[in-house]
Amino acid sequence: MPELHRNDLIRLEGITREYATGQSRQTILHDVSLSVPAGQSCAIIGASGSGKSTLLNLIGLLDQPTNGQVLIAGKDMSRAAPDVCARVRNQIIGFVFQSFNLLPRLDALDNVALPLLNRGIGRQHARQVARGHLESLGLAERLHHRPADLSGGQRQRVAIARALAGEPALLLADEPTGNLDRQTAEDIIELLLSLNKTSGTTLVMVTHDDKIAGKMERCIKVCDGRITE
C-alpha cells in the first residue's frame, strides 16, 4: 500500500464491497482507491444504485469493506470492532442526513447535546455547547421545539448543529438538501461550505445535483461501483 500522506484524512485502498443476495453475491464497489486531504470539500455524485452511499458509509465507518483498507486520520479501521468504530465516529466524524435523523421525543437542544453526552460530557456543559451552535445557526427561538414543530430547513439546521457539536474533523453529508425547497437547500449548502472554509472541517457530500457539486473543490463520480474524477 502506498505511504499515507501526512495530510490525508481519508484513505481508501483497493476497496471492494459485496452483499449476499439469495444464493449469489452482488458487488457494489469494485477495487476503489481514494484519498481526501484534510480541509478539502468533495462532492460524490452518481446515479441511484451506483454505490455512492455505500462509499460514504464506508468512509463514515457505518460499514466495513469486503476487501481493502479504510484509513481515517492514519488509523486502519478496515476490521475495527464496532465499539472502536463508534468511538472514532463520535470523536472525529459528524453526519448530516437527508432524513435529518433527529429523535422525535427530544427538543432541538437535547438532540444537539446528545453526541456530547455520549462522550461522557456533563449535561449542563453539553447543553451549553448545543445552545451556542443552535444560536449560531439562527435557531435561538427554537431551542425547545421538537422536530415535528420545526420546518424542514430548521430540522436540517438542528441536524447540522448536532453534527458540529463535537467539533469533528470530518463532516459527511448524504443528500442533505433532498427534502428541502430550492432556496432553503441553497442556504444549507452555503452554510456547509462556509463551515468548511472558516473552520477547515473536511466536507464530503453525496449529491445528485450538479450545481451543488460544482461548488465543491473536487467532484468524484461513482458509476457501476467504480470512481472517476
Q: Which CATH number covers residue 126?
A: 3.40.50.300
Range of 87's domain?
8-228
Report the percent of the chain where pLDDT is more than 90: 70
Q: Tell me, yes or no, whether 3 lies in a domain.
A: no
Q: Is the pLDDT of residue 20 over 90?
A: no
CA torsion sign, 73 to 78 to 81 to 86?
positive
- C-alpha cell belonging to residue 146: 421538537
**Domain assignment present for 31:** yes
Q: Mean pLDDT for the chain?
A: 91
Q: Does residue 59 sit within a domain? A: yes
Q: What is the pLDDT of residue 94?
A: 92
Query: Are the C-beta atoms of residues 109 and 127 closer than 8 Å to each other?
Result: yes
Is a pLDDT exceeding 50 seen at residue 3? no
Does 2 have pLDDT greater than 70? no
Is residue 100 included in any domain, yes or no?
yes
What does the longest C-alpha to C-alpha distance in the chain come to?
54
Q: With respect to residue 22, please indicate whether it lies within any of the assigned structural domains.
A: yes
- Residue 190 in domain: yes
Angle, vertex CA 119, rays to CA 114 and CA 120, nearest 5: 95
Q: Is residue 127 part of a domain?
A: yes
Task: Read off the pLDDT of each residue in 201-227 and give the average, rounded to a whole number.
Answer: 93
Whether 1 is covered by a domain: the verdict is no
> Each residue of 68-110: pLDDT tens digit?
999 999 999 999 999 999 999 988 999 998 888 999 999 999 9
CA-nearest of 128, 96, 86 to 110 is 128
pLDDT of 212 higher than 70: yes
Residue-wise pLDDT tens digits, 177-203: 887 888 888 888 998 999 899 989 999
Pairing of strands 24-37, 8-21: antiparallel
pLDDT in tens, 25-77: 899 999 999 999 999 999 999 988 899 999 999 999 999 999 999 999 999 99
Tell me how many domains the chain contains.
Answer: 1
Cα–Cα dist 129/103, whole Å:
18
Backbone φ and ψ of 50, nearest 5°: -75, -20
For every residue of the chain, which 3-state class applies, written as one string?
A: CCCCCCCEEEEEEEEEEEEEECCEEEEEEEEEEEEEECCCEEEEECCCCCCHHHHHHHHCCCCCCCEEEEEECCEECCCCCHHHHHHHHHHHEEEEECCCCCCCCCCHHHHHHHHHHHCCCCHHHHHHHHHHHHHHCCCHHHCCCCHHHCCHHHHHHHHHHHHHHCCCCEEEEECCCCCCCHHHHHHHHHHHHHHHHHHCCEEEEECCCHHHHCCCCEEEEEECCEEEC
Q: How confident is the model at residue 4 (pLDDT cuts 50, 70, 90)?
A: very low
Contact (CB, 8 A) for 180 and 153? yes
Q: How far is residue 197 from each of residues 58, 141, 170, 191, measured CA to CA in Å?
A: 25, 27, 13, 10
